[in-house]
Structure 1
């Protein structure tokens, strides 16, 4: 569906450019955008490779395991429906660790794996479970200690101080995560109360 929307937007944009005699500007924007995309990609690759390497070192040193143990009590409270020894918890913790270091590309496959495990726990039903909704809320807000991807983009565009956003990003994601948890719990208890009244 998203591909169809993007295709329609592209076609509409080109048609309007032809009607208004701006097709030359469209061609210029296409090539300029393609060049910038390559520049940004190269800048992102270098920083992401560095941080992924640091993550591997941290994992080998046992730091990630310690962080996972630190956050495990919080995760088990946030996901009470998931058994403590279930693989889903491991994927959720790994997803959160990757998000904390701003590695969204690394966090995405871990989040998908966690969602697959949660769906199995839900009996492979199409309706999202409580835990699946909670994971989606947490993954969307993604508490971030080091916004690696954004720092990489700022470095690519020659920012005078690319790391100055660390504090504000941390504050924003903390507030967003707390807000997501509160809203998630509010609607969950509201739904369960309505379900109880119906019964």
Structure 2
């Protein structure tokens, strides 16, 4: 779907540029944007390589399992339908840890893995379970206890300038997301069809 949106934007830009006689500006902007994209990608690769390596070391050293045990009471409350020892819990904890550490880009592959493992527990494959919705809401609210490394790296800002606003905003958004999911999951409209039949 996104491919169609981007293709549409590009085509509209070229058509409007042609009709207004500013096709040179469109071409110049495309070349300048390509250069910026390469510079941005190289910067992000460095940030992601560092933190994904750190997460890999944490996983190999058993730190992830330790963190999973420490936060088990929270994960049991947030995800009551997921067995405590299921691999999905480990992926969820890793994803949440990456988000809390401000590693949004590093959290993406972990989030995809967690969703894949949650789908294995899903009795009705064409509908999202409560656990999937809860995980998606928490992931989208993006709780961060440490400043986002990507923002600091790209904007070159002082970390102290956004420390308190980042924690306050992400904490409130996460609380709101959890409350919304817990309320909506109790409503009949959002129950799985299989549950309704039972």
TM exceeding 0.5: yes
The aligned runs of 1:47-62 (5 Å cut-off) are 47-56=47-56, 58-59=58-59
The aligned runs of 1:82-161 (5 Å cut-off) are 82-123=82-123, 125-146=125-146, 147-155=148-156, 159=157, 161=158
Is the contact made by 1:95 and 1:108 (CA closer than 8 Å) also made in structure 2? yes
Q: Distance in 2 between matches of 1:20 and 1:177?
A: 46
Query: TM-score, structure 1 length as denominator?
Result: 0.85
Question: Paired residue for 2:170?
Answer: 173
Deviation, 1:46, is 2.7
Is the contact made by 1:72 and 1:93 (CA closer than 8 Å) also made in structure 2? no
Question: How many residue pairs were aligned?
Answer: 195
What is the Cα-based RMSD across aligned positions, in Å? 2.7
Deviation, 1:40, is 1.9
Q: Provide Cα deviations, 1:13-42, integer angstroms capped at 9, x if missing partner.
A: 110111011111111111111121222222
Is the contact made by 1:151 and 1:163 (CA closer than 8 Å) also made in structure 2? no
Asked whether 1:36 is paired with 2:33, we answer no
Deviation, 1:53, is 4.0
Q: Provide Cα deviations, 1:66-88, integer angstroms capped at 9, x if missing partner.
A: 43333221111100001111111
Query: TM-score, structure 2 length as denominator?
Result: 0.86
Gaps of 5+ in 1: none
Question: Paired residue for 1:25?
Answer: 25
